[in-house]
Structure 1
Amino acid sequence: MATTLTGGNPHIIQLPTTPAGAALDPRAIAQRWLTNLETQLSQPVTVDLTGLFHTESWWRDMLALDWELHTVRTAADIQTFLRQHQSQAQLSALRLQDKGQFQPRHEQVVDGLSWVSTMFFFETAVGRGTGMLRLTQEEDGAPWKAYAVYTSLQELRGDEEPLGKRRPEGTTESMPGGLAGGTWIERRLRQKEFLDTEPVTLVVGAGQAGLNMGARLQSLGVSCLIIDKNERVGDNWRNRYRTLVTHDPAEFTHMAYLPFPKNWPQFTPKDKLGDWFEAYASIMELNVWLQTSVVSAEYDDATAKWTVVVARGDGSRRTLRPRHVVWCTGHSGEARIPTFPGQQTFQGTVYHGSQHRDASEADVRGKKVVVVGTGNSGHDIAQNFYEHGADVTMLQRSGTYVLTAEKGVFMMHEGLHEDGGPPTEEADIASESLPWPIQLALSVHLTRRIAAAEKDTLDGLRRVGFRLDFGPDGAGIARAYFTRGGGYYIDVGCSQLIIDGKIGVKHSPRGITQFGPRELHLADGSTLPADIVVLATGYDNMRTTVRKVLGDRVADRCLDVWDLDAEGEVNAMWRPSGHPGFWFMGGNLALCRIYSKFLALQIKAIETGLSPRVR
């Protein structure tokens, strides 16, 4: 039942094969294994995993054993990892989930692979956590051993969030200082302006990353100021192109603590989402300064504090001294804008896709429009121009993965973030519980199922010369997103326009060589007439934005952001960035909801002295 590496990519694996028979008593199997693990954990220096883990197995840990995000592979390395950290972490009191979807069960995962899976709970020296367990057999009658274990710290003992039965009373008398400290609104006005204190954490950006981050920090009792350059919370969505709608469904895109109402549309128009963000900031009592930008930021290693000067909309400046800066300017926040020879002589219009608002802003009927790039925004912009009468051609350099919002997107969320599914908190744990190499390997099977369901669309695209790319292993959107941050299109109508010949496609692997006065010259020797060129060419690494705003001194200490590191975790995001007291936070709405918890816990642990390192 070996899990082997293939090719030169360490994150492309072969899934194990297992016997066809079903487990007769999943709970007894899981309980026996969990009891045996707890026995070994009680002897941290001599933990012996013989008989508990397959040689090729995995353990993904979110802060439970170490104040970091780790994926550890092979039984030998897992044993070493536990011996290094268990003495301090003290994982104990392991117990199985006893209700709901994630209690012990036997799952047929894909053809040839089944496992006993369960959610479980545990305690550590500092808090409480939740995990997931997957046990497999090598052959009928063989012992059940762990193929994948997940542990995630969910709360700190003594610093639990004020949720449910722990919610604050809310009366003036129950607030610190009682009536002498003022009413709720009087306190809020002082708190929001930080008239009496300095924020412990400065969050730059009030999009989904910054708002989730602020809500998580404040729930943990860590004071937080969010600044944003826009006029209103939510403008980071409102200011994008007119026809933009989220490509992920409602149950996947909730914000922390505050899910969308049950009558919320499946896919949210950008302005509606912007309004929700604005309401969320108010309801969650987040401290947001709008029309505010960073002028300078310097870090003092000796005091572990920042000195940040910000410029506010009224022309004033304020010097802040937070201990943490969380960079939430957007995983797709810094446009990648190429330039070409002859571009200055072009007599038409050229702009980046991030600057697109709506084709109706000018009379584009009959205009030759070339959209360079075939990702989500490229397709949406091409469709927008076509609908206003333009003659549109998409210029494609490399293949693009395509799935539809009608079928493929919902297949991706089956059994988890869907209407009638498990609670969001449990779905979040389950969805992140497998190491990324395993998730990508499983995505190969899912991508095949989606392709079969969407065969007509994919075949139609191939017929007209649109190049499809399912990734080096066929993992589709999962690999494209987590390694490239793009390279895919969630189809909301443009694919049929391409299939019907209403939007043209030109494939040019080596792209544009130069601009002419009214045309583009391509590397294959051909030309494309153009009145308008939209460069839907993607976005740069978040570290680029840091360098642009904060300068080389800060950026040089940061790691590059995104893609998977040697372990299989996302580089520098939601975890130490390389620069002490500086953190990157970004991703889609679901990832911001999920990982804001882990980043907030890391910051809280530093502030309470639980984490030994200043990062």
Structure 2
Amino acid sequence: MATTLTGGNPHIIQLPKTPVVAPSDPQTIAQQWLSSLETQLSRPESLNINELFHDESWWRDMLALDWDMRTLHTAADIQNFLGKQQTKARLSKFRLQDTGKFQPRLEQVVDELNWVSSMFFFETAVGTGTGMLRLTPAEDGVWKAYSVYTSLQELSSAQEPLGKRRAAGTTESMPGGLAGGTWIERRNRQKEFLNEEPVTLVIGAGQAGLNMGARLQSLGVSCLIVDKNERVGDNWRNRYRTLVTHDPAEYTHMAYLPFPQNWPQFTPKDKLGDWFEAYANLMELNVWMQTSILSAEYDEAAGQWVVVLARGDGSQRTIRPRHLVWCTGHSGEARVPSFPGQEAFQGTVYHGSQHRDASEHDMRGKKVVVVGTGNSGHDIAQNYYENGADVTMLQRSGTYVITAEKGVFMMHKGLHEDGGPPTEECDIVGESLPWPVQLALSVHMTKKIAEAEKDTLDGLRRAGFELDFGPDGGGIARAYFTRGGGYYIDVGCSKLIIDGKIKVIHNPGGINGFTDRELLLANGDSLPADVVVLATGYDSMRTTVRKVLGDKVADRCSDVWDLDAEGELQGMWRPSGHPGFWYFGGNLALCRVYSKFLALQIKAVESGLSPGVRQ
């Protein structure tokens, strides 16, 4: 049953091989194990989990036991963690899921690995939670936990007004009754924060900021969202003309408000921008557009920020929020390299973030070089080709390629798909395994996807395109969560490469410099060009923090993204290292999922339950 580490990366693991044991009743196995766990947790002073966990087991916790995201590996570490946390967390009243897909069942996960899995529910000293257990048999046939997940879902002192708890909505039922004004009169005062200071200032009105604002307001935490753009949704509208989301609709819902049933599977950028604008209005979010930060200082003694905002009408406003949530995009500042001789180049050079649409110029016969082979590089190359340009992609290192037609849907099969389980349950299951285990499972999924997409991958290889499946073959999951890039979700460009319509030059040394009309490559070759697009990626969010808030704040913040020593994402969605400062970002689905956990952390700080910093 050992889970062994391989190579120099502590997060590349081998999944265990389970003995062939056919469980007679998954329900009984799961219930007996969960009852035994509850018995042990009821006496933390004499806690002994040896009979419940394999030596190489895992436990992932989101706020139920500690006010942070934690991953524990090995029974000894789990024992120590529970012994330290359970006295104050007081997990109790465990109950198995008894309906739907995630009640106790036997799953064949991959070859030679089977487990009994189930969702379960519990209470804590401060609220209620949901978890997942995955049990595998030991050599003697005893079922023990390979992985356990616990997550705080609601605070008892701050239950959200959902369903039967929804607000009445009548003027008489609002605080102060009619004397306080009608709904619209209250909204107008609230949006401008005429009578109060916002507890939380959210910087950025994209998917991160909007999800964050909706979650905070549902918990009763006042929130102001500011953004430099003219309209909500412009962060998508202002991107290149042909952009469409690469994740399917069922995966990309926003918090509380899923897309309609007739929503397209992949959303055009302008349609998504309009949805964001409608979402902000429907969720009654307080958004100030055309607003930027002039200065922000943290008052240590008062435990609050002093932020000076410049508004679109030329006025300034000083606010004093206790929390600042940085939602400017998981990628920070554009990474723009410069090269010898570039100033002499007679053509056009720009970063991919500045691309709008090739149709704005007559590109027929023009030579375009796109430097970089991630999502943006492919989309820009395809856009130029479709407008008559002679396009070459310059590739330094390999890229993982998966198609939107097949591979993307294979990844979501059984969870976020049409006719699948409720989104809330899928979100719990989807995040319930520690990242090292998820990445190990993704190795097997990546192999299946590669078999299904063999013709595409073989065609790319023949065209000279270098593929990279990751150091462990983990594919898109490892590329995204460790690098934040290095992959392409194919929506048409791969066929153009395979057919020779877009050329690829693989040159690990990259660019040595420019002449007036050419790129000089490290291998000694030259490449004529009229337009060079640097699709060279972005630095982390911390670079934007440093640029806007200065070194004093940035130096106290942790790095953000990539996996830390435990296997959790650094900095993101959790204490950042700086009091009252939080990073928040990711794709639409991650913003929906983790906005709940970050909102709970902020509410816990405001309720005196958590210090808001790592202990």
TM-score when normalising by structure 1: 0.99
**In the TM superposition, what are the counterparts of 1:603-614 in structure 2 within 5 Å?**
603-613=602-612
Structure 1 range deviating more: 328-337 or 84-93: 328-337
SS of residue in 1 equivalent to 2:85: helix
SS of residue in 2 equivalent to 1:151: strand
Cα drift, residue 500 of structure 1: 0.3
**In the TM superposition, what are the counterparts of 1:413-492 in structure 2 within 5 Å?**
413-492=412-491
Q: Spell out, residue by residue over 1:307-338, the C-alpha distance to the aligned partner (whole angstroms, 9 max, x if none).
A: 00000000000001000000000012421111
User: Cα 1:100–1:163, aligned 2, differ >3 Å: closer, same or farther?
Assistant: same
Establish whether residue 148 from structure 1 lines up as the match of residue 147 from structure 2.
yes
Q: Spell out, residue by residue over 1:192-223, the C-alpha distance to the aligned partner (whole angstroms, 9 max, x if none).
A: 00000000000000000000000000000000
Cα drift, residue 614 of structure 1: 5.2
Structure 2 residue aligned with 1:113 = 113
Structure 2 residue aligned with 1:240 = 239
**In the TM superposition, what are the counterparts of 1:235-314 in structure 2 within 5 Å?**
235-314=234-313
Identity of counterpart residues, as a percentage?
Answer: 80
Structure 2 residue aligned with 1:2 = 2
Q: Whole-Å Cα distance in 2 between the matches of residues 560 and 566 of structure 1?
A: 13
CA contact (8 A) 2:375 2:489 kept: yes
Cα drift, residue 515 of structure 1: 0.9
CA contact (8 A) 1:353 1:534 kept: yes
Q: Which structure 2 residue ranges, 5 or more long, are not aligned?
A: none
Structure 1 residue aligned with 2:31 = 31
CA contact (8 A) 1:121 1:131 kept: yes
Q: Whole-Å Cα distance in 2 between the matches of residues 416 and 24 of structure 1?
A: 26
Structure 2 residue aligned with 1:180 = 179
**In the TM superposition, what are the counterparts of 1:440-589 in structure 2 within 5 Å?**
440-589=439-588
Which AA in structure 2 matches 1:436? W
Which AA in structure 2 matches 1:24? S
Which AA in structure 1 matches 2:61? D
Structure 2 residue aligned with 1:600 = 599
Structure 2 residue aligned with 1:101 = 101
Q: Whole-Å Cα distance in 1 between the matches of residues 612 and 14 of structure 2?
A: 37
Which AA in structure 1 matches 2:109? V
CA contact (8 A) 1:304 1:614 kept: no
Cα drift, residue 142 of structure 1: 1.3
Structure 1 residue aligned with 2:63 = 63
SS of residue in 2 equivalent to 1:217: helix
Q: Whole-Å Cα distance in 1 between the matches of residues 228 and 337 of structure 2?
A: 25
Q: Whole-Å Cα distance in 2 between the matches of residues 614 and 359 of structure 1?
A: 47
User: Cα 1:558–1:602, aligned 2, differ >3 Å: closer, same or farther?
Assistant: same
Cα drift, residue 19 of structure 1: 2.3
Cα drift, residue 510 of structure 1: 1.1
Q: Whole-Å Cα distance in 1 between the matches of residues 413 and 362 of structure 2?
A: 43
Structure 2 residue aligned with 1:44 = 44
Q: Whole-Å Cα distance in 1 between the matches of residues 437 and 292 of structure 2?
A: 41
Structure 2 residue aligned with 1:362 = 361
Q: Spell out, residue by residue over 1:521-572, the C-alpha distance to the aligned partner (whole angstroms, 9 max, x if none).
A: 0100001110000000011110000001111111111111100000000000
Q: Whole-Å Cα distance in 2 between the matches of residues 541 and 613 of structure 1?
A: 22
CA contact (8 A) 1:6 1:14 kept: yes
Which AA in structure 1 matches 2:234? D
Q: Whole-Å Cα distance in 2 between the matches of residues 207 and 230 of structure 1?
A: 10
CA contact (8 A) 2:578 2:613 kept: no
Which AA in structure 2 matches 1:146? A
Cα drift, residue 22 of structure 1: 2.8
SS of residue in 1 equivalent to 2:558: coil
Which AA in structure 2 matches 1:214? G
Which AA in structure 2 matches 1:418? E
Structure 1 residue aligned with 2:81 = 81
Q: Whole-Å Cα distance in 2 between the matches of residues 468 and 28 of structure 1?
A: 46
Q: Whole-Å Cα distance in 2 between the matches of residues 245 and 203 of structure 1?
A: 26
Structure 1 residue aligned with 2:380 = 381
SS of residue in 2 equivalent to 1:162: coil
Q: Spell out, residue by residue over 1:15-50, the C-alpha distance to the aligned partner (whole angstroms, 9 max, x if none).
A: 000123432100000000000000000011221001
Q: Whole-Å Cα distance in 2 between the matches of residues 510 and 62 of structure 1?
A: 43
Q: Whole-Å Cα distance in 1 between the matches of residues 378 and 46 of structure 2?
A: 57
CA contact (8 A) 2:575 2:613 kept: no
**In the TM superposition, what are the counterparts of 1:124-135 in structure 2 within 5 Å?**
124-135=124-135
Q: Which structure 1 residue ranges, 5 or more long, are not aligned?
A: none
Q: Whole-Å Cα distance in 1 between the matches of residues 205 and 422 of structure 2?
A: 26
CA contact (8 A) 2:580 2:612 kept: no
Q: Spell out, residue by residue over 1:344-382, the C-alpha distance to the aligned partner (whole angstroms, 9 max, x if none).
A: 000000000000000001001100000000000000000
Structure 1 residue aligned with 2:18 = 18
SS of residue in 2 equivalent to 1:566: coil
Which AA in structure 2 matches 1:109? V
Cα drift, residue 612 of structure 1: 3.7
CA contact (8 A) 2:579 2:612 kept: no
Which AA in structure 1 matches 2:314? G
CA contact (8 A) 1:234 1:277 kept: yes
Q: Whole-Å Cα distance in 2 between the matches of residues 613 and 556 of structure 1?
A: 18
CA contact (8 A) 2:114 2:136 kept: yes
Q: Whole-Å Cα distance in 2 between the matches of residues 430 and 609 of structure 1?
A: 30
Cα drift, residue 461 of structure 1: 0.3
CA contact (8 A) 1:245 1:267 kept: yes
Q: Whole-Å Cα distance in 2 between the matches of residues 24 and 257 of structure 1?
A: 39
Structure 1 residue aligned with 2:400 = 401
Cα drift, residue 422 of structure 1: 0.5
Q: Whole-Å Cα distance in 1 between the matches of residues 536 and 73 of structure 2?
A: 36
SS of residue in 2 equivalent to 1:5: coil
CA contact (8 A) 1:17 1:138 kept: no
Q: Whole-Å Cα distance in 2 between the matches of residues 264 and 97 of structure 1?
A: 31
Q: Whole-Å Cα distance in 2 between the matches of residues 404 and 318 of structure 1?
A: 47
Q: Whole-Å Cα distance in 2 between the matches of residues 612 and 548 of structure 1?
A: 27
CA contact (8 A) 1:369 1:393 kept: yes
Number of aligned residue pairs: give it: 614
Q: Whole-Å Cα distance in 1 between the matches of residues 314 and 291 of structure 2?
A: 9
Cα drift, residue 613 of structure 1: 4.7
CA contact (8 A) 1:514 1:520 kept: yes
CA contact (8 A) 1:606 1:614 kept: no
CA contact (8 A) 1:172 1:178 kept: yes
CA contact (8 A) 2:103 2:119 kept: yes
**In the TM superposition, what are the counterparts of 1:341-356 in structure 2 within 5 Å?**
341-356=340-355
CA contact (8 A) 2:131 2:151 kept: yes
**In the TM superposition, what are the counterparts of 1:160-179 in structure 2 within 5 Å?**
160-179=159-178
SS of residue in 2 equivalent to 1:334: strand
SS of residue in 2 equivalent to 1:36: helix
CA contact (8 A) 2:96 2:103 kept: yes
Q: Whole-Å Cα distance in 1 between the matches of residues 582 and 219 of structure 2?
A: 17
Cα drift, residue 277 of structure 1: 0.1
Structure 1 residue aligned with 2:201 = 202
Structure 1 range deviating more: 40-49 or 165-174: 40-49
Which AA in structure 2 matches 1:188? R
Which AA in structure 2 matches 1:59? W
Q: Whole-Å Cα distance in 2 between the matches of residues 445 and 52 of structure 1?
A: 27
SS of residue in 1 equivalent to 2:537: coil
Q: Whole-Å Cα distance in 1 between the matches of residues 166 and 130 of structure 2?
A: 22
CA contact (8 A) 2:576 2:613 kept: no
Q: Whole-Å Cα distance in 2 between the matches of residues 182 and 338 of structure 1?
A: 56
Q: Whole-Å Cα distance in 2 between the matches of residues 432 and 114 of structure 1?
A: 19
Which AA in structure 1 matches 2:212? M
Q: Whole-Å Cα distance in 1 between the matches of residues 461 and 556 of structure 2?
A: 45
